[in-house]
């Protein structure tokens, strides 16, 4: 494992880059003042909220092709009974949101990594209220 040490005058712009390796890269900042600009695969940087309800269906698997993590928010309801929303990301059930009474909405939110797959489904006869993605 190698380390990068920055010392001396750090009042200008500094670029730190490391080779792509598996595992975790950590950047520790000791300064109490200043600004840190994050770039790359940081959620929210260079992304906007998109209303994708017309291009999304429940119980259908989608792939995040943006090259960045995305944040997904889905709301649904059922007029035939309480709704439970299930979220599957990369083949793993990550969330089961229990529903409330008939005609009440249930919602969920989650992050999908680049190239990750995701689907949202509901029990009974669910209807989408909204589906937005920060992409």
Q: What is the CATH number of the domain that holds 117?
A: 2.60.120.40
Write the CA distances from 43 to 27, 125, 130, 133, integer angstroms: 17, 33, 21, 11
Q: Report how far residue 27's alpha carbon sits from residue 39's, in angstroms, rounded to the nearest whole number.
A: 13
Tokens of 34: 């200043």
Q: Report how far residue 103's alpha carbon sits from residue 76's, in angstroms, rounded to the nearest whole number.
A: 10
For residues 26-45, average pLDDT: 67
In a domain, 31, yes or no: no
Cβ neighbours of residue 20 closer than 8 Å, sequence gap 6 or more: none
In a domain, 119, yes or no: yes
Q: How many separate domains does the chain show?
A: 1
0.75 exceeded by the pTM? no
Give tens-digit pLDDT for 99-135: 766 667 788 999 999 999 999 998 878 889 999 999 9
In a domain, 130, yes or no: yes
Find the domain containing 123 and state its range: 49-134
In a domain, 26, yes or no: no
In a domain, 100, yes or no: yes
In a domain, 8, yes or no: no
In a domain, 97, yes or no: yes
Confidence grade of residue 80 (pLDDT, cut at 50, 70, 90)? confident
Distance of alpha carbon 28 from the chain centroid: 24
């Amino acid at each position: 494992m190698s380390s990068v040490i920055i010392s001396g005058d750090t009042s200008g712009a500094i670029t730190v880059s490391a080779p792509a390796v598996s595992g975790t890269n950590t950047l520790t900042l000791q300064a109490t003042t200043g600004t840190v600009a994050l770039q790359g695969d940081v959620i929210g940087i260079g992304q906007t909220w998109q209303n994708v309800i017309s291009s999304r269906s429940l119980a259908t698997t989608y792939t995040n092709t943006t090259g960045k993590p995305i944040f997904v928010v889905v709301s649904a309801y059922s007029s035939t009974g309480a709704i439970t929303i299930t979220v599957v990301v990369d083949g793993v059930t990550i969330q089961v949101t229990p529903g409330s009474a008939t005609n009440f909405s249930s919602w969920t939110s989650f992050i999908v990594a680049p190239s990750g797959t995701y689907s949202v489904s509901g029990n009974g006869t669910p209807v989408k209220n909204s589906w937005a993605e920060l992409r």
